[in-house]
Amino acid sequence: MTANLASSEEALDQFLDDFEQARIPFSDWTHAAHITMACCYIRKLPKADLLSTVRRNIKTYNVRGGGKNTDTSGYHETLTVLWLWVLADYLESFPAQTPRLEQVRKAVEEFSGNRLYPEYYSYDVVKSVEARRIWMEPDVKQLPDNGSPLEE
């Protein structure tokens, strides 16, 4: 199942399990799949566990799928934090009773065509080895000013 075909809450749970077990082929690991994964974790985990879980599971997925996490490919800390921050802020705009499936679908619809980083980062910053390794504050535009959705 690909992320944009999630048809139920159970399908989202299965998608997340497939991601965690690296059963999603790289060809299906699309931008929409990344957004789906992030939204599922944002809704599932406490803030204190969010970034460490996402970080670990992306790195594991990359390696299990035959990829590598290097200074030029694989896991990217700054982009991961950026997306978690923006998506957490977006999901907070929904009334509490809004089903997770609806929130995920709307987030994928809103953001799947958007790489987001040019809005917040200059090319040189986001493409740097340092930004791949550690969180770097945006140098173009500030993040939503409602406090970090991440606690570490």
| Predicted local distance difference test score (pLDDT) of residue 42 | 96
What would the pLDDT profile of 64-83 be if each residue is shown by its tens digit? 988 999 999 999 999 999 99
Confidence grade of residue 32 (pLDDT, cut at 50, 70, 90): very high
What is the pTM (predicted TM-score) of this model? Answer: 0.91
Residue 2 reports pLDDT greater than 50: no
- Residues of the chain with pLDDT > 90: what percent? 84
Residues 6+ apart with CB under 8 A from 43: 91, 100, 103
Task: Tell me if 86 sits within 8 A of 38, measured CB to CB.
Answer: no
DSSP H helical segments within the chain, as ranges? Answer: 9-20, 31-44, 47-64, 77-91, 100-111, 117-120, 123-126, 129-133
Q: Maximum CA pair distance of the chain?
A: 41
Query: Pick the residue with more confidence: 150 or 29?
Result: 29
Q: Where are the domains of the chain?
A: 3-133
